[in-house]
Structure 1
Amino acid sequence: MNILSQDIMYLPGVGPNKKDVLNKELGVRTWGDLLEYYPYKYVDRSRIYAIHELQSDMPFVQIRGKILSFEEFEMSARKKRVVAHFSDGRGVVDLVWFSGAQYIYKTYKVGEDYIVFGRPTVYGGRFQFSHPEIERASELQLSEMGMQPYYITTEQMKKRNISSRAVEKMVKAMLQKIAEPIPETLPDFIVNARHLVSRDTALRCVHYPKNAIEMQKARERLKFEELFYVQLNILRYASDHRRKYRGYVFSQVGDDFHRFYSENLRFELTGAQKRVVHEIRDDMRSGRQMNRLLQGDVGSGKTLVALMTMLIALGNGYQACIMAPTEILAEQHFATIQEFLRGLDIRVELLTGQVKGKRRQEVLDALIAGEVKILVGTHAVLEDPVRFQRLGVAVIDEQHRFGVAQRARLWAKGENPPHILVMTATPIPRTLAMTIYGDLDVSIIDELPPGRKPVQTIHKYDSQMTSLYAGIRQQIRLGRQVYIVYPLITESEKSDLKNLEEGYAALCDIFPEFKISKVHGKMKSKEKDAEMQKFVSGETQILVATTVIEVGVNVPNASVMVILDSQRFGLSQLHQLRGRVGRGADQSYCILVTTYKLSAETSKRIDIMCETNDGFRIAEADLKLRGPGDLEGTQQSGIAFDLKIADIARDGQIMAIAREEAQKIIDADPTCTSPEYAMLWRRLRELRDTNVNWAAIS
């Protein structure tokens, strides 16, 4: 039996109780799992400082000496502060504990030789270490320690005395028991070409590096391996898909496309739109099924490109559909497409949860008869009763709201899977797109239509509301409209909703001369749509809302977006909200209102928003600040990673190299059967059988 697959319970010092905690908190069930529970930081333990060398701005350091005496101070009726006076013979520091007096007296003795490790601070003119790590000097081989690893631990682990130090001791005990070299998982031709250390060296050194260079090499090897197998899996899936599924060949663009382009399109396409239409056109006549991701900021003209894509399908005798994540957005697409196609004999229908009974049946019957050429809808389009006569193209708007499984359900709607165009207004950094959408080709609309002025973003504090209200009044008198957004965050939904209601009432008092609508997620769809419609038609001048407006409404006359408590939003969400204005020819403004108390990270977010309108720069910054799991401010399906050591935001270069190597393997062995690559396919199968979230990754 492979020693790495042994139950963690049988590792000395673990046993059944600690096993349960490690299982539940970390998903560690075997020795191999523990080996892949990597340190998150290291501290150099090779040097001992003299007490007279200490400085208050030092990070963690260690000193050696003896406890001279203990002293106790009453903090409250039930709490004591224990202080040990500690000396290295040339100076004295205090070791301080605010709890655990009995344990301290039982464990540490006056006159014994100890090594103390912690962060020095100054209190009452003397250096002190609060709750330091203390080891008997005789038990600590400093020459062997080098860089001490630190492991993330949870509250439950700490309650069961499983500290970072305890995890370190478990790993040390395990590595001592693994006498044989740990089996390799990458072939020599990759290891040698990329100058990587062996897996055995990497796994031993990542836990116990002697120096920073050794640690760096170990981490680089493990990151490469992790990203290589993620990419190999994605590329294998994409290659498989292309071989299995032939695409419909759309050899012509057809009359509908030509008539629309020459008669209905009243403005010139941007260079970026033309480029993307050509890329889509090439896919659709290639004979392989199109799977393309279309990225572009709000207002860049993605819907028009999607419509032209659908018209190509119509020109070849097929139907098309476009799916949106919300009813409001579906209705807006429906209205936009109808307006674009005015005067052309093309039947477009809407299918959402609101379309019921007889009307719904009429749409379904006309769809299967081939009379409906373009269907606009929500995920209701995926339901079994929805059948097309010949579905040739499916457009999915805001992909992160649709899981991979839902995308796959569209394939069952025709003899062959339809061509798929996925649209998103959330700019996705290249490294993330390579991982989330690795099976999709990427097109980018990186140009706004002519005449659009960039939105000006201004940061104001909540003490400056009077001048803000004056600015709002001035804009409305110029004939513009204004959004005022309150945060609505699940954890405190009730209090936030109250804030919105109170805010709405206060704004009605502040602006008695204007009409105000309000919209939030707790309203019934009909009520919400009616309020939204009042704003769209210009009947109301101010729309007080929560983030329900983040995806959807297009009101060219709205020129001001005020986001209250902006510190509570993520960068991508702020950028999405800002995209609701600046859709007309007037200069538009986005006002970010915050409290004075801002963390360094929040200040950075606000600064980035004020500096740039470039969605890709914002997305890169968001990825670095927040990590991939929370790109939208909410955990979205399709953006979940089970990466143990690699970091999507910071390891883009390693990702690109790993993808390049994985592509070479797929090109050389597309059917995954060559004995030369058997090790890779075996390892990929093992990984797919673990708890790695491959479905989310690919």
Structure 2
Amino acid sequence: MGLQTPIEQVPNIGKSHAMRLHRLKITTVEDLVHHYPFRYENLGKPAQISEISLGGLNSATGKVWAIRNVRTRFGKNLTLATVTDGSASIEVVWFNQPFLTKVIKTGSEISLAGRVDLFSHRASFINPEYELVDSKTGGKSLHTQGMVPVYPETAGVSSKWLRSKIMNLLPNVLPKIEDPLPSGTLKNHRLIPKRQALWQIHFPTNENQIEEAKKRLSFEELLISQLMALERKRAWEKNQRGLRMNIPQEKVLSLIDSLPFSLTEAQRKVIKEILDDISKDKPMNRLLQGDVGSGKTVVAAVAAYIVFLNGYQSALMAPTEILALQHFKTLNSILKPLGVRVSLRTSSTKKDEPFDILIGTHALIARGAGFKKLAFAAIDEQHRFGVEQRARLRHKGQTPHILTMTATPIPRSLALTLYGDLEVSSLDELPKNRKTVKTFVVPPEKRARAYQFIGDNISKGRQAFIIFPFIEPSETLTSVKAAKAEYEYLQKEIFPDLSIGLLHGQLKSEDKKDVLERFSQNKLNILVSTPIVEVGIDIPNATIMLIEGAERFGLASLHQLRGRVGRGIEQSYCFLFSESSSRNALERLSALEKYHLGLKLAEIDLKMRGPGEIYGTAQSGIPSFKIASLTDLPLIKATKQEAIKIFSSRAIDKLTALSSEVEKQSLVPPD
């Protein structure tokens, strides 16, 4: 039996259990061996029955003195047993398991683990885990003593079942597992061999063994991910040549001086990094991350201007028409006076006009956009695009320089793994005139006061956003308010004298533009919307952001929404409304009251929710690790350095096991 043996061919598993295992993504022997516990129950050594105390977990070993099935007058089926170990005896109660009298016989040696409580006024094990003591194994216990692993389960596949199958498999399978890590790596990082790690992760004798195994297996996962990223980077640089841009410094300075605002030092630093990249014949592949309002679009505009001066075209791709329109307005105002033709192309715009810079949505890729000399492509909010879409944009020209931009803050640990094949730039400085948006979690009883506050601010000429998670009411989430119904309620009952607009994704493009235009011209006092306004809306006069069902959003999204206000000179406010009483939800929301830096909030979100929920695993390309943690920055740094060392020396070519692991796990589509 090999590692790639289908799970249904493993003795004593069968087709029905194999189908259940498929739900856990276990299809081969290798998958089962790498199905790791997510926690352990420390049951310790069995106590003498005379020393067992009520409450908590207890374990004991003894002889079955008696066992019988009983049906109570209330119709409950009980299995009652008496177990003794010489020091004392104790009752054992199982519910609705009458078959146990056929498995557990009087006189059998049994090991028990579980909660001890009063039952019929006597200390009793209540529904405990049990196993018969086998003299052939020296009395060793798998389920009821020591460090007992608890696995991710599914219907019909319990942790007890998994423990038994893995225990039967491991001795036969371990000799066939090659260690992909070189001996030098194991020694330098004080890692145990893989076979030892696999045994210890499943059947440890103490917590130290668990930590040793976790570190070893996590190191391998992270190292392979880092090597895959380096391989992608090498392929990108090897297979494609970039267009070298000439950088006329006097033109760059002239453009910067013409801006109606001063650039931050962070913007100047990032512009230099990007211009250095595009002056080389290797195609740029850089990620630009910057908090809401940090000025990423202006940085992209400078790069696009240099490309224009060299006689080439640029593309700026956005995830929504709203954001594309915002970028168009920004770039057009900056570059049109310099003779640059900026064109907007979305699914609702049909005109094909000559351009130097083309701004648009997916329509840039979905149909021929008319690129003749594309040299630079900026992709905003990268994690909203699939890998395939980004690759197709590359092929619109002769290997354009790629700049991906995001206002979704990416913790350093995540950037080192997720974007290991990209150079990373950060805009970690906001314009000096920005005021912090005062943020409050509003309990239900203070809702009326919040509405009064909004009305008072609007009477002073300000505007407000009110955001809802859904367009229509949810059948399952009945407590969560929805945009359409609440828009009507707010207009009729709360703000009857104010002008309120409604914006959501189901509106036609022209209707969306009309609503936004009226809001930007202060013809609407309040904009009721779904999270479609998360990016790309710039209304300096809007000073209030009210978010309903705030617990339904991640911290990154809430921070993005909060960033729609605070863009003018007036003090702005963000109100988080939540009907949830969940402690975890309220803790996350209170973090927004306390912190205003997106990066700090992203780190909190990463720890509390994990990367898949925050960034959307399928779209972002985030590695799906079985055991490694994306919050373990020291280990991520160590694997990054080790990957660079192995890769730069081309040692990976000689490390067959490691090379095959990298190749096997590489799911990146070809460019």
Is the structural similarity TM-score above 0.5? yes
Instruction: Identify the range of structure 1 (468-477 vs 516-525) with the bigger mean alpha-carbon deviation.
Output: 516-525
- CA–CA distance in structure 2, aligned partners of residues 240 and 178 of structure 1: 35
Letter in 1 for 2:462: R
Distance 1:136 1:471, change over 3 A: same
Distance 1:251 1:122, change over 3 A: farther
Contact 2:566 2:572 in 1 (8 A): yes
Letter in 1 for 2:319: P
- CA–CA distance in structure 2, aligned partners of residues 179 and 267 of structure 1: 64
Sequence identity of aligned pairs in percent?
37
Q: How does 1:531-680 map to 2 (within 5 A)?
A: 531-595=515-579, 597-632=580-615, 634-649=616-631, 651-669=632-650, 674=653, 676-680=654-658
Distance 1:4 1:271, change over 3 A: same
Instruction: Identify the range of structure 1 (135-144 vs 280-289) with the bigger mean alpha-carbon deviation.
Output: 135-144
- CA–CA distance in structure 2, aligned partners of residues 307 and 493 of structure 1: 45
Instruction: Identify the range of structure 1 (479-488 vs 250-259) with the bigger mean alpha-carbon deviation.
Output: 250-259
The match for 1:62 is: 59
Contact 2:179 2:657 in 1 (8 A): no
The match for 1:492 is: 474
Contact 1:51 1:63 in 2 (8 A): yes
CA shift digits 1:368-410 (9 cap, x unpaired): xxxx111111011113522322112111000011122211112
Letter in 2 for 1:11: V
Contact 2:225 2:623 in 1 (8 A): no
Structure 1: segments with no counterpart, 5+ residues: 367-371
Letter in 2 for 1:131: N
Indicate the SS of the match to 1:538. Answer: coil
* Aligned residues between the structures: 664
1:134 corresponds, among 123, 130, 136, to 130
Contact 1:272 1:447 in 2 (8 A): yes
1:425 corresponds, among 394, 407, 413, to 407
The match for 1:48 is: 46
- CA–CA distance in structure 1, aligned partners of residues 105 and 84 of structure 2: 13
The match for 1:19 is: 18
CA shift digits 1:516-554 (9 cap, x unpaired): 111222333332332232222211111111111112211
Letter in 2 for 1:478: K
The match for 1:116 is: 112
Letter in 2 for 1:685: E
Contact 2:247 2:275 in 1 (8 A): no
Q: CA RMSD in A?
A: 2.9
Residue 528 of structure 1 pairs with residue 506 of structure 2: no
CA shift digits 1:404-440 (9 cap, x unpaired): 221111221223x111111100001111112222211
Contact 1:257 1:315 in 2 (8 A): no
- CA–CA distance in structure 1, aligned partners of residues 161 and 481 of structure 2: 46
The match for 2:149 is: 149
Residue 682 of structure 1 pairs with residue 660 of structure 2: yes
Distance 1:635 1:4, change over 3 A: closer
- CA–CA distance in structure 2, aligned partners of residues 555 and 124 of structure 1: 69
Q: What TM-score do you get using the length of structure 1 for normalisation? A: 0.88
Letter in 2 for 1:507: L
Contact 2:471 2:530 in 1 (8 A): no
- CA–CA distance in structure 2, aligned partners of residues 490 and 663 of structure 1: 50
Structure 2: segments with no counterpart, 5+ residues: none
Letter in 2 for 1:147: M
Distance 1:37 1:465, change over 3 A: same
Q: How does 1:468-479 map to 2 (within 5 A)?
A: 468-479=450-461
Indicate the SS of the match to 1:180. Answer: helix
Indicate the SS of the match to 2:482. Answer: helix
Q: What TM-score do you get using the length of structure 2 for normalisation? A: 0.91
Distance 1:335 1:129, change over 3 A: farther
Indicate the SS of the match to 2:619. Answer: coil
Distance 1:11 1:349, change over 3 A: same
Residue 235 of structure 1 pairs with residue 234 of structure 2: no
- CA–CA distance in structure 2, aligned partners of residues 210 and 562 of structure 1: 53
Contact 1:68 1:87 in 2 (8 A): no
- CA–CA distance in structure 2, aligned partners of residues 53 and 577 of structure 1: 58
Indicate the SS of the match to 1:300. Answer: coil
The match for 1:369 is: none
Letter in 1 for 2:643: A
Distance 1:51 1:610, change over 3 A: farther
- CA–CA distance in structure 2, aligned partners of residues 636 and 177 of structure 1: 35
Q: How does 1:40-439 map to 2 (within 5 A)?
A: 40-50=38-48, 53=51, 58=56, 60-65=57-62, 66=64, 80=77, 95-98=92-95, 100-109=96-105, 112-120=108-116, 129-138=125-134, 146-155=146-155, 158=156, 162-178=157-173, 180=175, 182-253=177-248, 257-263=252-258, 265-356=259-350, 359=351, 362-363=352-353, 366=354, 372-415=355-398, 417-439=399-421
Letter in 1 for 2:41: V
- CA–CA distance in structure 1, aligned partners of residues 437 and 385 of structure 2: 29
